[in-house]
Structure 1
Amino acid sequence: MRNDLMRFFCTAFLGVRVVASGSLHHVASTVKDALDDKDLGQLLIFDDSTGKQIDVDFRGKTDDVLQRIGEQFGDLPGTEVNDEPTRRVGRPKLGVVSGEVTLLPRHWEWLKSQPGGASVTLRKLVDEARRAVGEQSKIRESQEATHHFMTAIAGNFHQYEEALRELYAGDLNRFYHFIDDWAPDIRNYIKSLSAKAFTEGNS
């Protein structure tokens, strides 16, 4: 079995109960050996990183199931690829690249007045912007993963719509309030998926 299969983590639900979690290889093997065909037909497996449902064909023996999974998921999320060139011994290059920046005179005056000068200030501003964008991206991905799972398994639950609104509003306390009386396994999985969906001030 490919190593990347072992890094593709997921969780299997039978109704409102978690029956297996871990790598897709582990989950598929566990449920295939433990459940009958009727239960397997009702099983829902979710990708822990995206909250999306994973379709697995459980026909045949366990080896047949795992072989099909390997064929279906040729390149799975989490595959580690090392594209970096071999590093040479010696002093590393700083990687500074020069380029043209067009600004108004008042912008140049402000940059030159900052500690370290224009170049240092511009690099700091770019780094800060990259961090801000990265943080927003993590929030959005966590929201989307939570939304995928909630829609698939909790769409008819009490206060589903209210909880979804608070997820996107970024109100952690109210979000938790609306899912508080949901089945424990589902509630805990939602909390795991939504862990990065809220800013520090609301978490």
Structure 2
Amino acid sequence: MTQPVVPSCTTFEGHRRIATGSLQANALAARRALEEGATEPVLIFDDATGRLIDIDMRGTDEDTAESLPEGVQAQSADFAGAGAAAVEPRGRGRPKLGVVAREVTLLPRHWEWLATQPGGASVALRKLVEEARRANGEKDRIRKAHERAYRFMSAVAGDLPGFEEATRALFADDPRRFDELVCAWPCDVRDYATRLAFGGSEPAAALAQ
């Protein structure tokens, strides 16, 4: 059994990074910043997508934890049961492929060609999709990295000098030019944007509060 994936997030108070790690840890760090009278926006970002995560900060720490997405609340239970589930013996018969039925609209000549392929239309379509994923995998990875960096930059760095030029360098996939344009930005913003856009070392699991 595959071990559940723990979402990684990062929280900023204005231009200063105050937490990196699990969503629970970031939610609590954001609460602390607000309770201590933060004067800058406190924003939580999904490291995988660069999207903002909206969390209800009202009430107690327990209330905040309960307001998190159901899958995140269940992480502890999932990890606790992962070890036991991993050693359960697999039953007899063919393994489940996890396929999902969806409607596909094709021209008649496409259906005719698929009907002649070994294994039928479904097998042929799966092979075509996998081949396309392999062929375009690197392009897709770069595009997604640029998009997640842009989401973060738009939310936090829109008022910083060189933002528009840095955005053009980002989508031109020009890391050297990007570095030149963001070098004067606050270090936390610069480093996080660069990591989202072009990779690099992962941040620490959590920052000291």
Task: Note whether the superposition's TM-score is higher than 0.5.
Answer: yes
Structure possessing the higher radius of gyration over alpha carbons: 1
Does residue 181 (structure 1) correspond to residue 184 (structure 2)? The answer is yes
C-alpha change, 1:182 and 1:87, in structure 2 (3 Å) is farther
Separation in 2, partners of 1:25, 1:55: 13
CA drift of 1:191 comes to 1.3
Does residue 172 (structure 1) correspond to residue 168 (structure 2)? The answer is no
Could you say what secondary structure the match of 1:45 adopts? Answer: strand
1:49 is aligned to 48
Could you say what secondary structure the match of 1:141 adopts? Answer: helix
C-alpha change, 1:65 and 1:174, in structure 2 (3 Å) is same
2:138 is aligned to 135
- Number of residue pairs the alignment of both structures matches: 157
Structure 1 residue identity aligned to 2:21: G
C-alpha change, 1:126 and 1:22, in structure 2 (3 Å) is closer
CA drift of 1:38 comes to 3.3
Per-residue CA deviation, residues 158-181 of structure 1 (Å, 9 max, x unaligned), is: 110101101111111001111111
> Which ranges in structure 1 are unaligned for 5 or more consecutive residues?
93-97, 102-122, 197-203
Higher relative contact order (CA 8 A, sep 6+): 2
Separation in 2, partners of 1:68, 1:129: 39
Structure 2 residue identity aligned to 1:20: A
Separation in 2, partners of 1:152, 1:8: 20
Separation in 2, partners of 1:180, 1:88: 59
Normalised to the residue count of structure 1, the TM-score between the two structures is 0.65
Separation in 2, partners of 1:48, 1:17: 16
Does residue 74 (structure 1) correspond to residue 70 (structure 2)? The answer is yes
1:160 is aligned to 163
Separation in 2, partners of 1:7, 1:126: 28
RMSD of aligned alpha carbons: 3.4
Separation in 2, partners of 1:87, 1:46: 41
Structure 2 residue identity aligned to 1:42: P
Normalised to the residue count of structure 2, the TM-score between the two structures is 0.63
Q: Which among 190, 195, 198 is matched to residue 195 of structure 1? A: 198
CA drift of 1:37 comes to 5.9
Contact 1:32 1:40 in 2 (8 A): no
